[in-house]
Amino acid sequence: MCNTDNKNLARWSAPAAIIVVGFLSFWGGFARRWISDDGLIVLRTVRNLEAGNGPVFNVGERVEANTSTLWQYLILAVRWVSNAELESIAIYLGLVLAVAAMVLGTWASTSMHSGIVLPAGALVYVALPPARDFFTSGLEWGLCLFYLAMLWWLLLQWARPHRHARGNSAAYWLAFWAGLSWLIRPELALYGGIVGIVLLISTRSWKVLAIALPLPLGYQIFRMGYYGLLTPHTAVAKSASGSEWGKGFTYLGDFIGPYWLVLPLVVLVVAALWKAELRPPHLRSTASAVYIFVGTAVLHTLYVLRVGGDFMHGRMLLLPLFAALLPIFVVNLRVWVASVACAVWAIIVALRGHPVDPAVYDSDISIVDERDFWTHTTRMDEPPRHAEEFLRSEMMHGYKDAIKELEDGDAMTFRYLQDDGSPSWLATEGDPSRTDPPTVYYLNLGLTSMNAPLDVRVLDEIGLSNPLAARQPRIEGGRIGHDKSLGMPWQVADSAADIDSVPFWIDKDAARKARTALNDADFQELFATYRDPLTWGRFWENIKFSLTDGRTLSFSSDPGSYLD
């Protein structure tokens, strides 16, 4: 009788764990739903796709300003079906995918156990405030979580010995999903690539490559020919090739410190190793799957540390943490203490949250709680969920009037400080001999672009949407992701602004030199890759550029260096 009861408990413990994790994930993500400035950047591209301008940020300029290829098309697809507001689609689609990832990850991990299971690692992840913040935000994190959870589930299906006799269908599905990694977010190719290599070794069949490669390879050829780059333009702007270990470990400390995250991680490691099968019997086994996922998550973490982390609290470490926790999302009843410890820690962290003193936003900080920052900056009780709510920010005072002046014929608008120290925007008239579109320059690209019509060119000085800025030298010691800056003379030069009419704080002589310097062959070659009409000839020239100068081209910040 007791044995029967235990079997019934075991049978029901898995769905119970799934329901608990799913409910907590939905409730936690919904309660903290919001949209970030970076999330709005994605929506500008979706607007251009919807308008028939192509996958671009600004009309007439082929720049891939979004890191995730598939995310923008998923939003567009839902828009076509529902005609819902773009911000709402981005928020709730991200939430649905994130909750699905938590549920799928829990389901996959329960299948590793034959007895009663209890939630553990899943509680740790969902308790973290930044994890719940990025269930939404308008960014692709929900999609990334879903990708990793599905990859984990497919890997376990492939790894189970009792499925070996069913042929290679599990391997082929896994190969296809692994191939999608490059289209979801470039660093996820680490997971897809390692899984693909393991599959190739295991199956010894080139069919794996034939299934995995066509879609990402096809898009890669398109990217090289259309944009003239090997990677999304964000990688050029952020120069991920550099090493910033010191900043990376600072970023790690900023993430784990406030939550004492080391405590539950140590508990989970001990629980995972307790009577575990440490030596895989063969490559195609559950133990191998665990090593693959955890090992890749460690490599991913090292990559994040190497490039210096990020400017958003916790964001870049969430994906490797999620991947590392997946194998221990649930634990067996025999280590119930681990589940209880994780639950107690999770309750404390969830109730405490991530308290931030608003005074820090008036200082020069390198890592910011983005959700809290925009809630504070927009002066609302709740975080922003619509583009127009960002107009409440002091930095956007006068912006709508400036856009109206651009629509009425002015060439460029600048943000400046008025005599009383408050910010506003000032438009300047154009040079009749110039044909550049009306232009806005500002660091925060999402709030400016989503509150501007598509025929207004919206650029940033750090280079996310601006190839000229992305090729500037890095600022030593600069903020990660914001360590390039295109000087004001260059901004004026690459616009229709009448240099004689620009505000007094802009160096007119330097602007004239910069405008002359832009006729240099290197600048013209770069401009041609993304501004010239896209013909077959231009497509093939762009592929050539992406493999040569597109990888290394950089510019001096001094216009005089290009003049005789």
pLDDT value of position 341: 96
DSSP state for residue 138 in the 8-state scheme = T
Measured torsion, CA atoms of residues 221, 225, 226, 232, in degrees rounded to the nearest 10: 60
The whole-number average pLDDT for the span 171-191 is: 96
Residues contacting 474, CB < 8 A, separation 6+: 239, 242, 483, 484
Find the largest Cα–Cα distance for the chain: 94
pLDDT value of position 358: 74
Given a contact cutoff of 8 angstroms between Cβ atoms, the answer to whether 195 and 154 are in contact is no
The span from the CA of 485 to the CA of 474, in Å, is 8
CB atoms near residue 26 (< 10 Å): 18
Encode burial over 440-463: b for 16+ CB neighbours within 10 A, e otherwise: bbbebbbbbbbbbebebbbbbbbb
pLDDT value of position 470: 93
pLDDT value of position 160: 82
* Residues 401 and 335 placed together within one structural domain of the fold: no
Reported as a single tens digit per residue, the pLDDT across 67-95 is 999 999 999 999 999 999 999 999 999 99
The span from the CA of 385 to the CA of 107, in Å, is 31
pLDDT value of position 368: 92
Query: What DSSP string describes 310-326?
Result: -SBTTHHHHHHHHHHHG
Instruction: Specify if 1 maps to a domain.
Output: no
Domain that holds residue 86: 12-352
Query: What DSSP string describes 28-71?
Result: HHHHT--B-HHHHHHHHHHHHHHTTS-S-SBTTB-----S-HHH
Lowest mean pLDDT of 26-40, 41-55, 160-174, name the range: 160-174
Instruction: Specify if 383 maps to a domain.
Output: no
pLDDT value of position 114: 82
247 Cα distance to chain centroid: 19
Of 318, 352, 386, the residue at which a domain comes to its end is 352
Across 124-133, 307-316, 351-360, which has the greatest mean pLDDT?
Answer: 124-133
pLDDT value of position 11: 76
Given a contact cutoff of 8 angstroms between Cβ atoms, the answer to whether 44 and 440 are in contact is no
- Using pLDDT thresholds of 50, 70 and 90, give the confidence band for residue 145: very high
Given a contact cutoff of 8 angstroms between Cβ atoms, the answer to whether 486 and 472 are in contact is yes
pLDDT value of position 205: 83
Query: What DSSP string describes 81-123?
Result: HH---HHHHHHHHHHHHHHHHHHHHHHHHHTT-SS-EEE-HHH
The whole-number average pLDDT for the span 536-543 is: 98
Q: Which of 374, 446, 453, 458 is nearest to 87 (CA)?
A: 446
* Residues 103 and 204 placed together within one structural domain of the fold: yes
Q: 254 by DSSP, 3-state: which? A: helix
Of 298, 326, 352, the residue at which a domain comes to its end is 352
- Using pLDDT thresholds of 50, 70 and 90, give the confidence band for residue 6: low
* Residues 288 and 160 placed together within one structural domain of the fold: yes
Q: Which of 334, 328, 347 is nearest to 268 (CA)?
A: 328
* Residues 345 and 411 placed together within one structural domain of the fold: no
Does residue 166 carry a pLDDT above 60? no
Does residue 461 carry a pLDDT above 70? yes
The radius of gyration of the chain from alpha carbons, rounded to an integer in Å, stands at 25
* Residues 118 and 201 placed together within one structural domain of the fold: yes
Instruction: Specify if 376 maps to a domain.
Output: no
**What are the helix (H) ranges across 328-450?**
336-352, 370-377, 399-407, 445-449
Reported as a single tens digit per residue, the pLDDT across 303-316 is 999 999 999 999 99
Residues contacting 345, CB < 8 A, separation 6+: 124, 127, 260, 263, 264
Given a contact cutoff of 8 angstroms between Cβ atoms, the answer to whether 411 and 3 are in contact is no
* Residues 262 and 320 placed together within one structural domain of the fold: yes
- Using pLDDT thresholds of 50, 70 and 90, give the confidence band for residue 125: very high
* Total tally of structural domains belonging to the chain: 2
Q: What's the chain's average pLDDT?
A: 92
Instruction: Specify if 6 maps to a domain.
Output: no
The span from the CA of 418 to the CA of 440, in Å, is 18
The whole-number average pLDDT for the span 182-209 is: 93
Reported as a single tens digit per residue, the pLDDT across 383-404 is 999 999 999 999 999 999 999 9
Does residue 359 carry a pLDDT above 80? no
Given a contact cutoff of 8 angstroms between Cβ atoms, the answer to whether 126 and 103 are in contact is no
Task: Tell me phi and psi for residue 330, to 5 degrees.
Answer: -130, 160
- Using pLDDT thresholds of 50, 70 and 90, give the confidence band for residue 275: low
DSSP state for residue 421 in the 8-state scheme = S
Of 352, 378, 403, the residue at which a domain comes to its end is 352
The span from the CA of 226 to the CA of 503, in Å, is 37
Does residue 7 carry a pLDDT above 70? no
* Residues 167 and 66 placed together within one structural domain of the fold: yes
Does residue 499 carry a pLDDT above 50? yes
Reported as a single tens digit per residue, the pLDDT across 401-455 is 999 999 999 999 988 888 888 889 999 999 999 999 999 999 999 999 999 999 9
* Residues 551 and 452 placed together within one structural domain of the fold: yes
Instruction: Specify if 234 maps to a domain.
Output: yes
Does residue 164 carry a pLDDT above 60? no
Does residue 45 carry a pLDDT above 50? yes
Does residue 242 carry a pLDDT above 80? no
Lowest mean pLDDT of 9-23, 113-127, 221-235, name the range: 9-23
* Residues 198 and 97 placed together within one structural domain of the fold: yes
- Using pLDDT thresholds of 50, 70 and 90, give the confidence band for residue 1: very low
Burial (CB count within 10 angstroms: exposed 0-12, middle 13-18, buried 19+), residue 70: middle
CB atoms near residue 88 (< 10 Å): 15
pLDDT value of position 475: 84
Instruction: Specify if 148 maps to a domain.
Output: yes
Percent of the residues in the chain that have a pLDDT greater than 90, as a whole number:
77
Instruction: Specify if 374 maps to a domain.
Output: no
Written as six digits, the tokens of 317 are 């470490």
- Using pLDDT thresholds of 50, 70 and 90, give the confidence band for residue 469: very high
The whole-number average pLDDT for the span 191-217 is: 92
Residues contacting 31, CB < 8 A, separation 6+: 132
* Residues 399 and 512 placed together within one structural domain of the fold: yes
* Residues 411 and 504 placed together within one structural domain of the fold: yes
Does residue 157 carry a pLDDT above 80? yes
Instruction: Specify if 4 maps to a domain.
Output: no
Letter for the amino acid at 36? S
pLDDT value of position 295: 97
* Residues 48 and 195 placed together within one structural domain of the fold: yes
Reported as a single tens digit per residue, the pLDDT across 91-116 is 999 999 999 999 999 999 999 888 89
Q: Which of 53, 150, 79 is nearest to 108 (CA)?
A: 150
Task: Tell me phi and psi for residue 253, to 5 degrees.
Answer: -65, -35
